[in-house]
Amino acid sequence: MLVLIVLLLSAVVIAAPVKTPHVEAELVSEVRTFTASEPFWVAVRLRMKPQWHTYWINPGDSGLATKVEWDLPEGFRIGELLWPVPEKIVSGPLVTFGYFGEVFLLAKIVPPDELIVGNYKFSAKVNWLVCREECIPESAELALVLKGTREFALPDPKWKRPLGEAKLRLPASLPNWSVTASVIDDELLLNFSTPSKVGNLEGLIFYCEQSGIIDYAAEQKVSLSQSGFQLRLKRSQYAASLPEEIRGVLYNPAGWGQAVVALSVRGKLIQQAYAATSSPTGFRPIQQITSVWLAVLLAFLGGLILNLMPCVLPVLSIKVLGFVRRAEDGKAWKHGLVFTLGVLVSFWLLAGLLLLLRSGGEQLGWGFQLQSPSFLICLSMFLFLLGLSLFGVFEIGLSLGRFQNTGYSGYTSSFLSGALATVVATPCTGPFMGSALGYALLQPALTTLVVFTALALGMATPYLLLCSFPSLLKYVPKSGPWMESFKKLMGFLMMGTVVWLVWVLGLQAGMNAVAMQLAAFVVASLGVWIYGRWASILNESRVRLAASALAGLLVFSSLLGVLFFVRRDDVDARSEIQWQEYSPALVAQLLAARQPVFIDFTAAWCLSCQVNERVTFTSQEVIDELRKRNVTMVKADWTLRDDTITRALAEFGRSGVPLYVLYSGIPGDSPKILPEVITPSILIEELKKLK
């Protein structure tokens, strides 16, 4: 009975959009259930009648900001209210800032560490002024009941996506930018030092969060400066005195890259008025690349190094064997060229696809395809079968492992090995490549293609060299029975890669998906065994046809089976270090509390990340040093697509992982970017530099 009453009560409160004459207001959450100390987002949702608007944190020349007073259960904390970028509303000589249609005012709730399972009621008293021509003050008492559980946070399918989209409308922070403000006569100058050249600045709008600082109706003049750009704002007539810090939001209709539309601006006011000629004070990370030639060079080197990565080596070493073979009939150089073409074309395709998706507004970076479980399933199946082929279970006409064929299919094979090498190489983003690709992806499409071309050429160069100077081939052993053994040996390396991919799949899609994938391997290997046993030329054609059909059926049905099955079932890895899940708000909060923070941008499919984590973050010395210095460890896990993390990477000029960032926690200190290959000694040395 009591249960029933509680259920009824909570049901009443949960379904609670409050309707006022001009606004529908509601308190919504991204989760239905939450767990101890795992923060979650809530939002005050206001839906205005057509043509009516409510106001931003600074309403402008008239109006009034929406006010939210929270009432939370004991022990819960809530972050500051975050306002999406407003619209500039011009009516005659007056300018105001507000929202039409629907707006989500976001805040993050931090539950207490000790949570008693049960229902919790979150309330907010919201006051707003809603205007069209005339203005009406309205208010509502909103409430939301969520269940605190021990098990897991259950997302609310209705609000998870709208809140995610609303978060994208929040201004992003700009750690590598420095902003200063100064006053000359009746103008307020904002000087932005940017780490790299900014793109299109047309239609730029600075929304000042503080009222009475600038004249909203006056033109905002933008000019490029040596270190970035300058914004000249007219001071408000009502600005009696200026605060020490000018706060606001810088909106760029063209975007700031990576789907960021607005940046959060905090500009210290410099009292002396001659800042126009001052030198840039902005921090420039060493790895930040600003020249296209440097990016091309690094991409080339990165491409060379890719050849040694464990995911590429088996495919390519077999190719080398192919060259050995060709050397005998003098066609090596042709195959070298076709191979290079294969690498080039597939890099272009990948880059083109990436650019295309990004221009469509997707938050993607290099290695994006490995964030898709379906891609992992197909790739691991492909490599598994390739491994079986290397073991000699079967051979197919176009098999990359087949060296006996000549002519047409030989060239196809060379081309395909180039393509395959590219596809399997992406997870092994080598040192250098992080910055080169990060740079490339922010450039115009042509530059991007040039950098990717350099990468592809770097990767193909060793083979091109071997081919162009056949004399070099004399250093490669002559073909013979050892090749068969080498092939089998490479088969094991291939299976190693398969194990790793299946592990990544497990992280993304859970244990059940792994089991399904393994079962699919068994069925598919039965298929290729049947093919190898009965589809050889020795059998009559009827048998061959039946065997091929059966094999194809088994392979494809097993593959489709897993693809349909895949479901996410997150499993978190445990380690000695207490990792906090990354969010910009968490980092900002820690920095405000003057805490040193280390951020590990990582992904399960990023091999170098995994190596670094195994080697460095399990080292007892490192753990001790971290404890001693009270460094908060934050993990930004990019295994699955995550727009917030993609955006954060972009702010550091990156589009891929690994990336390691250390904040000293001292106000004014710029974050330090550590090398991609991080060792215990490098990390300890950096930690010792902290005060």
- The residues that touch other proteins, with contacts defined as CB under 8 A, are 61-64, 91-94, 96, 127, 129, 131, 133-137, 211-212, 215-218, 234, 236-240
Q: How far is the CB of 245 from other proteins (least distance, A)?
A: 18
> Considering beta carbons, is residue 234 or 402 the nearer one to other proteins?
234
| Of residues 20 and 127, the one with the C-beta less far from other proteins | 127
Placement of tokens 């020795």 in the chain = 538
Q: Are 215 and 60 in contact (CB under 8 A)?
A: no
Nearer to other proteins, 209 or 637 (CB): 209
Q: What burial class does residue 51 get, using C-beta atoms within 10 Å of its C-beta: 0-12 exposed, 13-18 middle, 19+ buried?
A: exposed
Query: In terms of CB distance, is 136 or 640 closer to other proteins?
Result: 136
- Please report how close the Cβ of residue 218 comes to other proteins at its closest, in angstroms: 6
Task: In angstroms, give the least distance from the CB of 239 to other proteins.
Answer: 8
3-state secondary structure of 688: helix
From the list 263, 501, 502, 261, the residue with the least C-alpha distance to 363 is 261
Burial classification of residue 422, based on how many CB atoms lie within 10 Å of its CB (0-12 exposed, 13-18 middle, 19 or more buried): buried
Residue 411, classed as helix, strand or coil, is helix
What lies within 8 Å, CB to CB, of 456 at 6+ separation is 303, 340, 343, 344, 346, 347, 348, 422
Angle between helices 511-534 and 541-565 (to 10 degrees): 170
Minimum distance from residue 136 beta carbon to other proteins (Å):
7
CA distance 204 to 660: 32
Q: How far is the CB of 95 from other proteins (least distance, A)?
A: 9
Q: How far is the CB of 210 from other proteins (least distance, A)?
A: 9
**Closer residue to other proteins (CB): 136 or 687:** 136
Nearer to other proteins, 98 or 491 (CB): 98
User: Which structure tokens are listed for 599?
Assistant: 């951020």
Nearer Cβ to other proteins, position 134 or 329?
Answer: 134
- Give me the least distance between CB of 46 and other proteins, in Å please: 17
Q: Which of 113/134 has CB closer to other proteins?
A: 134
Residue 128 CB, nearest distance to other proteins (Å)? 10
Asked if 627 and 690 count as a contact pair (C-beta separation under 8 A), the reply is no
SS3 label, residue 578: coil
The β-bridge partners of 305 are: none
d(CA 366, CA 370): 9
Q: What is the rounded radius of gyration, in angstroms, for the C-alpha atoms of the chain?
A: 29
- What's the CA gap between 223 and 513, in Å, rounded? 55
CA distance 59 to 79: 21
Nearer to other proteins, 137 or 392 (CB): 137
**Shortest Cβ 165–other proteins spacing (Å):** 30
CB atoms under 10 Å from CB of 560, counted, come to: 12
SS3 labels along 235-262: ECCCCCCCCCEEEEEEECCCCCCCCCCE
Question: Residue 522: CA atoms inside 13 Å, Cβ hemisphere, count?
Answer: 5
Q: Closer CB to other proteins, residue 49 or residue 672?
A: 49
User: Partners of 380 in the beta sheet?
Assistant: none
Cβ closest to other proteins, residue 56 vs residue 394: 56
For other proteins, give the closer residue by CB, 62 or 485.
62
Q: How far is residue 20's CA from residue 11's CA, in Å, rounded to a whole number?
A: 21
CA distance linking residue 474 with residue 471, whole number of Å: 6
DSSP at 66? -
The token duo for 595 is: 């805490």
